[in-house]
Amino acid sequence: KIYFFSLTNNSFCTESKECLEYELVCKTDEYEVRHYSPTRWVSTDAEAYFMGVGAAMAFRRLFQYITGANEGGFQMEMTAPVLVKIPEETKMWEPAVYTLNFPLPAAYQDKPPAPTNDKLYFTEMPEMDVYVRSYGGWMLSVTSRLHAHLLTKELERVRASYNRSYHYGVGYDRWPISIYPTSFTPRLIFILPSHPFVLKH
């Protein structure tokens, strides 16, 4: 079952009519553990030397999809959050692959229209728990990796097992990877306890 919730004044969700709901499992001063239900996302990969560049290219493709670049030409409301999958190990002077994901609106979760761009695909996110660290301001490669490091440092301290190959940068505004946001925007870092079983179509 897919869960979405409406806008509230206390929510990070200030620019979208639908946001992914979660259950708070526990919370410390450093991080939260959240439980998410299964969801379907539209995704695309972009190769770049910097996260901001790759995410910008990917964002354009996904935004074109929800604004009509799909079979049927359906116009969809943008949902939140937007996830950027960020690899942990990157080599200097070599580009990395960044994956951007939009959650599909509730009305299109079961039967989303096929994208007209063959660089887009659907990703099935399973039911999962995630470790979450919140911060505000810009989502850049350096800030994302800094907060991911701070979260993993705390997870190491409590001897928690977690996915060491990648983390997710998470944004709730319409341009989550903006270099110059217009306001102090909440950002999140997601780290998974283990690799989820993900299907690509």
pLDDT tens, the chain, 201 aa long? 444 444 333 356 666 678 888 899 999 999 999 999 999 999 999 999 988 889 899 999 999 999 999 999 999 998 888 999 999 887 778 999 999 999 999 999 999 999 999 999 999 999 999 999 988 766 666 777 888 899 999 999 999 989 889 999 888 766 544 444 444 455 777 878 754 433 333
Structure confidence at residue 112 (pLDDT):
97
Structure confidence at residue 138 (pLDDT):
64
4-200 homologous superfamily: Regulatory factor, effector binding domain (3.20.80.10)
Quick: pLDDT tens for 119-164. Answer: 999 999 999 999 999 887 666 667 778 888 999 999 999 999 898 8
Output the CA torsion sign for 101, 105, 106, 109.
Answer: negative
**Cα angle at 143 between 105 and 159, to 5 degrees?**
85
Residue 82 tokens read as 């937007």
Structure confidence at residue 122 (pLDDT):
98
Q: Where are the domains of the chain?
A: 4-200
Q: Give the orientation angle of helix 51-66 with respect to helix 141-157, to 10 degrees.
A: 100
Structure confidence at residue 186 (pLDDT):
57
